[in-house]
Structure 1
């Protein structure tokens, strides 16, 4: 019977790792559809961002109560899963509480600490479920989340509660079996939370307790393995991608726009035509801005996959709040969806084509959305995991203006004034001080 359980566990564990690794590989390839960009300088500052933004969740603490609850859920779930190492080894080796004889009293302390964290995870997830479905905060009720995205968050929170309850019930049944002197159930000492629950199992037969403990053990580990494979399809992928995203965050001041050397060179040739004669004759014609995900950078696509869909960006966006069609959160969700679609097309296309006839611009994101942006950087400032929707918007607007000559009349007037008068206003440079005379 024990051998059969070990074989079943090995099959389940190997399958879970295989399918997770396969999906993770697809996501990596999708991210690398973007243009290359070097973001590995100033490592001390990047390490600081990693510690403060990803581990410390610094931006979350603008709302201390929510931040503390989120930190408990996040830290609790991550730390508790250290215990998964013991469960995995027990499953492979056919042992029970492998670390208990090795750690002795420290083992009781660690499991007790995990149980206390499990309670904080349950409380935090319950509160977050209430905020989403009962209090109905505006950013959670947005149409951005209609359909699967709204259900996704609820599924994850409910799953975390169930996994923690299984963990506590398993330990409580284990303590009851220890009290009965059941074979293979090592004496571990009383755990902090399950020790309060174990009296509920008094009077039950050893067989019934073993059944409860084993069912909870199997459901807990299978739930964790299922959760692992659900992550790549969920917004909760940010649990993993928040860390590289924080490390690779651009370190330039917010609001600093990236100039294209090709544009600067063309301006220089216009001002000094004699330099154009020395330009390479075979120089490739550059693409200005971005029309599809392949024109964005890999960091833009990493941003899209790291998006938590929390809506703090859209809640801070003046365009969103005044009823414009733009939603920075939706920009990131659409970019991720397009990356998924194009990546799947490329993988499945046997002819080697890298385009499916669609594009991020217009098929996913409209001109109206792009032009509603005020470039204020509020979305960038508010994002807790250092995502930059503005950079995607600016690159796509650059494509519209420079590749398609598509801009509102007001913009064209401004461009003309800058070209002719070196200022946005329709005044001759010689008359700029005329207002002083009035």
Structure 2
């Protein structure tokens, strides 16, 4: 995240804000269940106003950060937030989440401001806790209101804040790309520790090579029929690939660093992950409606991701290096390529020539191994 300091600091404020403010949300829930008001105030006594001041600082930080994010997306229009895959719902989703967060923070600050004034007026139910530093600056906006109006604002802020948080949580777990708030942690924990450029071998091919060379193979796997070479649909991908699809933040850092995309190719690593997630959602709906054996005639390769996209990848792993949550789009691209070449035998002509040279000459070039060092003889002439 901190390769780009500005968005990193803003995200830090937003994330810390929502984590720490949950302590205050816990108090709201308890008050709602038992009919109390600021139940933690007598427990923490003199420390309570300081805690609320921290919450208010974080609330203001979240509000300002989200406002800046909206400006960057919709007014400045940072280039990496653009792209064909970012039209319609993805763009609306991001703006909707940011707007909801701003609304929640306004509710929280309005609640505290009106609560503070009601405390000073000695209103019933509003126990005295002391002034709150940040919302004290907002009191002039509310001082002219009557007690009943202040109670309405405080209650509205209370209900809107808690119900908004519950609705936000439900939304994140259903239709929003912000599921990455939760999934990115296990995704990072299970990251591949090998160097990014190291390609993984296919167990089926490795077994065949070992048998050809009379090398020992794993016991119990000799008679197992090989599965599909590569991947055609999401069922062929690994669980880690599918977790990464749900971990994608759609930030576009991968696509902004992709040399194929920068030179005008259709490949977008972000789109690869978003397409995988969309196809996985579609398969899930089909299973729920028609059972796990239902076939809808679609596949990830072809209906979502085109051959042109996967063939444009240089496997440079710039996208992997740029991702703040350790997503590996190259792994999915390679598996789709392997299916296209090994299952359907549809490799470009130049690639077929290279494969033939590697098989016969042990190098990509059409030279006999015995002639490989002929150029050295000319060095002394």
Corresponding residue for residue 186 of structure 2: 244
Structure 1 residue 205: Cα displacement:
2.2
Give the aligned partner of residue 399 of structure 1: 339
Please give the alpha-carbon distance, in whole angstroms, between the structure 1 residues aligned to 2:16 and 2:226: 50
Is 1:436 the counterpart of 2:350? The answer is no
Counterparts of residues 17-416 of structure 1 (less than 5 Å): 60-232=1-173, 233-272=175-214, 282-350=223-291, 352-416=292-356
Between the two proteins, the alignment pairs up a number of residues equal to 376
Q: Can you list the C-alpha shifts for 1:90-111, whole angstroms capped at 9, x where unaligned?
A: 1111211111111112211111
Long gaps (5+) in structure 2:
none
Q: Tell me if the contact between 1:324 and 1:372 (Cα under 8 Å) persists in the aligned partners.
A: yes
Secondary structure of the corresponding residue to residue 192 of structure 1: coil
Query: How many Å apart are 1:281 and its aligned residue?
Result: 7.5
**3-state SS of paired residue (2:75):** helix
Shift of 1:327: 0.3
Q: Which runs of 5+ in 1 are unaligned?
A: 1-59
Note if contact 1:72-1:117 (Cα within 8 Å) is conserved in structure 2.
Answer: yes
Report how far residue 158 of structure 1 moved.
1.1
Give the drift of 1:285.
Answer: 2.6
Contact kept, 8 Å, 1:361 with 1:367, in 2: the verdict is: yes
Report deviation, 1:393.
0.6
Q: Could you tell me how far apart the structure 2 residues matched to 1:368 and 1:339 are?
A: 21
SS in 2 for 1:81: helix
Whether the 8 Å CA contact 1:235–1:308 is kept in 2: the answer is: yes
Tell me, in whole angstroms, the C-alpha distance in 2 between the residues paired with 1:221 and 1:261.
51
Q: What is the CA deviation profile of residues 38-67 of structure 1, one whole-angstrom value per residue up to 9, with x for unaligned ones? A: xxxxxxxxxxxxxxxxxxxxxx11122221
How far 1:252 sits from its partner (Å)?
A: 1.2
Q: Deviations over 1:155-186 (max 9, x none)?
A: 11111111101100000000010011011111
CA distance in 2, matches of 1:208, 1:165: 17
SS in 2 for 1:104: helix
Equivalent residue of 2:187, what SS?
Answer: helix
The SS at the match of 2:207 is helix
> d(CA) in 2 for partners of 1:286 and 1:383?
31
Structure 1 residues 122-146: Cα deviation after superposition (integer angstroms, max 9, x where no partner): 1111111111111111111222201
Whether the 8 Å contact between 1:245 and 1:385 is mirrored in structure 2 is: yes
Cα contact 1:176–1:199 (8 A) shared by 2: no
In the superposition, the TM-score normalised over structure 2's length comes to 0.95
Q: Is the 8 A contact 1:346 1:355 kept in 2?
A: no
CA 367–202 in structure 1, closer or farther in 2 if over 3 Å, else same: same
CA deviations 1:245-299 (Å, max 9, x no partner) are 1111111111111112221221233345x999x9977422322111111111111
Change (3 A) 1:62 1:113: same
What TM-score do you get using the length of structure 1 for normalisation?
0.83
- Kept after mapping to 2: 8 A contact 1:132/1:140: yes
Structure 1 vs Structure 2 CA RMSD: 1.8
Matched, 1:425 2:365: yes
Distance 1:81 1:436, change over 3 A: same
Name the CA distance, whole Å, in 1 between partners of 2:355 and 2:115: 74
Preserved CA contact (<8 Å) 1:87 1:221: yes
Specify whether residues 80 and 283 from structure 1 end up closer, same or farther in structure 2 by C-alpha distance, changes over 3 A only.
Answer: same
**What CA deviation, in whole Å up to 9, does each residue of 1:321-352 have, x standing for no partner?**
111011000000000000000011111115x4
